[in-house]
Amino acid sequence: MNFPKELKYTKDHEWVKIENDIAVIGITEFAQRELGDIVYVEVETVGETIAAGEVFGTVEAVKTVSDLFMPLEGEIIEFNEELESSPELVNDSPYESGWMIKVKFSGEVPSDLLSFEEYSELVGG
């Protein structure tokens, strides 16, 4: 499975790409495979500042509903609106066109984010 080296990961199967004070967030290859076809991504928290570990949205597959958790605290500045009409982008391209939100964060990047090695180990390679 593909877990890009430059990204950080969470135990909840989100990935984080840090670009200066902006974090781009999505779900991992492992997560999209486990969920199956993604049919709905709901994020109604744009403009809100949300703490790490809190829910920022919901991803629905054919059979399941899962919460999306903030990997770090910050203000949600953008939702990938492409996902409204094409939620399958999360399956097809979880790290690129299937990104979910952009977060403006101040302060430190939390130290409990996982490296790609740690995450690979967590999901069994």
Interatomic CA distance for residues 112 and 69, integer angstroms: 14
**Is 63 a residue that touches another protein (CB under 8 A)?**
yes
* Closest CB 15 distance from another protein, rounded Å: 22
**Is 5 a residue that touches another protein (CB under 8 A)?**
no
Q: How far is CA 15 from CA 6, 62, 63, 85, in A?
A: 10, 22, 23, 22
Residue closer to another protein by CB (options 35, 113) is 35
User: 92 to 121, contacts with another protein by CB under 8 A?
Assistant: none
Among residues 28, 24, 111, the alpha carbon closest in space to that of 74 is found at 24
Among 1, 21, 54, 65, binds another protein (CB under 8 A): 65
Q: Which stretch binds another protein (CB under 8 A): 20-28, 37-45, 75-83, 117-125?
A: 37-45
End-to-end, the C-alpha distance of the chain in Å comes to: 7
Interatomic CA distance for residues 40 and 30, integer angstroms: 18
Contact set with another protein (CB under 8 A)? 36-37, 39-40, 42, 58, 60-63, 65, 84, 91
